[in-house]
Amino acid sequence: MSKTIELAKVVGQQVLNSSTKLIEVYAPKIANEAVPGQFVNVKVCKNTAPLLRRPFGVAGVNREAGTFTLMYRIIGEATHILAEVCSGDELSIVGPLGKGFDMSAKKPLLVGGGLGLAPLLFLAQGFGVGKSDILMGGRSASELFWTDFYEGLSEKVFLTTDDGTAGTKGTVMAVLPELLASGVYDCVYVCGPVPMMKAVANACLEANVKCQVSLEKYMACGLGACLSCACEGIGKRIKVCKDGPVFWAEEVGEW
């Protein structure tokens, strides 16, 4: 695991919806090393509080430009501070951290919801244009601005919404069993709310399709030193920051 600390320059920010932003930063070393599934720990330099760094999954890289992107929801003090930074401001970033996704799938199906769709975007980029399919779920059509990013990157985009305002009405589980039964996919990659990941992992187990999950836990150090992210795996304790955040579904005992 690389522990590079890079002083990154903010290239710019983009508003994705009322509570979500995309930030692009210039940090050539991390942009060059990061693989899909890894995360970085970010601290805004011009502000000393909050003291702890915050982890964000990498949402995409542009190695030629030396930049990478993060997507985040503005929900606490740290992300409010981050939302205020402008082009040219500096961030102290540790990374890339953690273990990335297995990239050996021939036909990958990505399944995500909420901010889980950010690391999956980097995964779709890693597989290459037209290689993966994506199934995304949200409460309503307004949450699925993600389609703008996935269309043209993934081959097929399947949508579900709780209220039926876009795609199939229901959760991703309204569509997933049929996709698994098609026999098209040799691996499913899921990232999103815990009930979604659990349901997807169980459906994959039943259908005998490999499944990787990207877990989200509170992380204080992000380096395997503090145990704040520890949870029960099958037969052993696992640290999400160091042993993951990506795991094979059968490795996870506690979600």
Give the footprint of ligand FES on this chain (CB under 6 A): 219-222, 224-229, 239, 241
Residue closer to ligand FES, measured from CB, 16 or 223:
223
Pure H helices in the chain: 28-33, 77-83, 117-127, 147-150, 176-181, 194-207, 240-243
Residue closer to ligand FES, measured from CB, 184 or 226:
226
Instruction: Report, in Å, the least distance between residue 229 CB and ligand FES.
Output: 3
Instruction: Report, in Å, the least distance between residue 67 CB and ligand FES.
Output: 26
- Measured CA to CA, the distance from residue 1 to residue 221 in angstroms comes to 14
Residue closer to ligand FES, measured from CB, 129 or 226:
226
Instruction: Report, in Å, the least distance between residue 243 CB and ligand FES.
Output: 9
Which pair of tokens denotes residue 181?
Answer: 């039964």
Residue closer to ligand FES, measured from CB, 70 or 176:
70
Instruction: Report, in Å, the least distance between residue 195 CB and ligand FES.
Output: 23
Q: What is the 3-state secondary structure (H, E, C) of 62-86?
A: ECCCCEEEEEEECCCHHHHHHHCCC
3-class DSSP assignment, residue 243: helix
Residue closer to ligand FES, measured from CB, 209 or 221:
221
Cα→Cα distances 157→23, 72, 93, 165, 166, Å: 24, 22, 32, 16, 12
Instruction: Report, in Å, the least distance between residue 50 CB and ligand FES.
Output: 15
8 A C-beta contact, residue 40 and residue 94:
yes
